[in-house]
Chains A and B, each alone.
Chain A
């Protein structure tokens, strides 16, 4: 081998080594301070641009699933042929998207007029769709959830929990303001032909298929919203009264991990720990006698119970939520967090906001929906599936009961509606009290895992003492 050949090989080797050593220095972040490393990926201005776009405070990401009504009642113009649907029915899914399009149009409309209660009631006596929501919505927030940044309706109505969409030529929306007992009509100026076609198709199919129909009357139809003589119990005007007992499926309630192997459960726990921004390598980790795994860091504690309960408590500022302040961003961020936890844990992800949307409260709660019905939690002192306390845009305290609900083959008939009303009257009735049943609806009650649940009538009752005995 001659000298020139050796020099060529040596030079090639040195150039190769130069590339290797240079790459090692440039690519190993620990060898650079992030202040001045041009190659530090976080400093790339083009990536910063995209990150900024993602974190844009004004991006009204649609969270329209938070606006799903608890039930919709199709008013056919005939009280005996009304029928209701919930999220368990296929037609509900078909129609709800159209309903939201109509609502978006109404929220964008400027044609808003105050109407009388009679006109509101009249809208339910003709062909229309009544939307009953789980809780009261702040008008502005509801509008943002549907992707409408601003609405003139919020200048008239601060919040509502009921809406009616009439199926007239030009589809009109009616709102029952929750705070002021006022009613509003909003003209969309749009025929929404497809929406009306689908709605009428559903009505027609329902009329053809149902025999021995369950008649649905609103409380005002039967004057149950008024007191008579000594009868001091009233049912709010919009509470639907069913003539027949309802058939509801029996479901089982269980922790999402009950059938999984230990390695899977452990990897799920690690993912949950990461979601709470805890470092499983740094946190003190131990298992209590009942199998609860506890992670303790200087600034927070996370407990993962074997029955599916997660408990997080921050000692300092708390877990920061994505996005900046503003009620809409807070609720969206909490919703995103809850959804993420459900997805990681393979838990039921069908939930609704049960704490009411709009008040400037620092507590936000969610509850599950099962077979189209809400699930009431009653486990110890836990009365919601998710409890989240917010402070300065951070989660300070968080409790989440992870659950899966599975339908069984059994179906049961609930007690008749009128018996449920009688029970309430007996429970609360007294010459010193005026009782208002604000809501009466079917719900499951979950009092612990691994049990069969059947839905029963649940009431929101307000009792006012008229005369106190001395």
Chain B
């Protein structure tokens, strides 16, 4: 037997087989991590039939995963939090409101609002002004992005480059200062695990049947993944923010749970 010739044939054979196997793996991984154009096209069609307009290029085609983490409410309890703003000499107005010389602090579940008796910032507060204000009270705010809109100043919360959509600090500083918000800080032990995400197309289909879908024709403006604080109308001492898809549309926003079952 001409062994040299046999080796040549075997090399060609294994080259073809290995190429085929490699192609299979790449294509299958693509399917695992990306939504196909056909699925996006079908999703757009279904949405249009239900009076929801969306441009295909707006729909993220990557599935991916997100990291999960536990975070602590900056409000440990209503009275202690109120003391940070009003001092120890405060009066309990109700279970969810305290007042003092410095102003008034009110609570709704995880949300708070401090209305100061006077202006706390000179002119337009900057990001560092707000951070320093909280730092002086022993509250360190991390992962913040600052922006201003109509003379109202916001800090938005980000974790692992993803926005925590309903977490914010809002500062109004006109005739008096009003600071309101909902804020959780990630625990020191960091990210606990990660979870795969349902694709954005699944979230859009889920949106069709959710109570957040308006009964009118809408256009979707943006779809983005991030985190949400679950049931902020109830107080939580700590929470694991839920990965969600934010669907921004012409009549508001909707948040669809993105976790893979």
Contact = CB atoms under 8 A, between A and B. Distances in A.
B4 A7 contact: yes
Interface of A: 4, 7-8, 10-11, 14-15, 17-18, 21-22, 24-25, 30-31, 279-282, 284-289, 291, 296
B259 interface: yes
Contacts of B11: 7, 10-11, 14
A296 B230 CA distance: 10
Contacts of A280: 193
B22 A288 contact: no
A450 B230 CA distance: 33
B21 A22 contact: yes
Interface size bracket, B side: 20 to 34
Contact of A282 (B231, B236, B239, B261): B261
Contact of B195 (A7, A24, A281, A286): A281
Nearest to A280: B193
A75 to B, nearest CB: 58
A25 B24 contact: yes
B238 interface: yes
B6 to A, nearest CB: 10
A222 B133 CA distance: 81
A14 B12 CA distance: 10
Given A14-B11, A282-B260, 4 more contacts: A24-B25, A25-B25, A281-B68, A282-B261
A282 B260 CA distance: 7
A296 B238 CA distance: 14
B230 A284 contact: yes
B77 interface: yes
Contacts of A284: 230-231, 240, 242
Contact of B14 (A14, A25, A31): A14
Given A7-B4, A289-B237, A14 B15 contact: yes
B28 A31 contact: yes
Given A30-B32, A284-B242, A291-B237, A11 B10 contact: yes
A21 B238 contact: no
Contact of A287 (B10, B231, B238, B261): B238
B195 A282 contact: yes
B242 A18 contact: no
B129 interface: no
A24 B28 CA distance: 12
B2 to A, nearest CB: 12
A289 B235 CA distance: 7
Interface of B: 4, 7-8, 10-11, 14-15, 17-18, 21-22, 24-25, 28, 32, 68, 70, 77, 193, 195, 230-231, 235-240, 242, 259-261
A455 B107 CA distance: 46
Nearest to A24: B25
B193 A281 contact: yes
A4 B6 CA distance: 11
Given A21-B25, A286-B239, A7 B77 contact: no
A15 B14 CA distance: 7
A291 to B, nearest CB: 7
A7 B8 CA distance: 7
A286 B14 contact: no
B15 A25 contact: no
A185 B259 CA distance: 63
Contacts of B21: 18, 21-22, 25
9 tightest CB-CB pairs across the interface, nearest first? A14-B14, A21-B21, A286-B239, A287-B238, A285-B240, A286-B236, A281-B195, A287-B237, A284-B230
Nearest to A282: B259
Contacts of A288: 235-237
A300 to B, nearest CB: 14
A18 B18 CA distance: 6
Contact of B236 (A8, A30, A287): A287
B73 to A, nearest CB: 9
Contacts of A15: 14
Contact of B230 (A8, A25, A279, A286): A286
A21 B18 contact: yes
Contacts of B261: 279, 282
Most B CB atoms within 10 A — which of A8, A31, A291? A31
B14 A18 contact: yes
A17 B193 CA distance: 33
Nearest to A290: B237
Nearest to A14: B14
26 contacts: A4-B4, A7-B4, A7-B7, A7-B11, A8-B7, A10-B11, A14-B10, A14-B15, A14-B18, A15-B14, A17-B14, A18-B14, A18-B21, A21-B25, A25-B25, A30-B32, A31-B28, A284-B240, A284-B242, A285-B70, A285-B240, A286-B230, A286-B237, A286-B238, A289-B237, A291-B237
B7 A11 contact: yes
Nearest to B237: A287
A289 B77 contact: yes
A281 B11 CA distance: 47
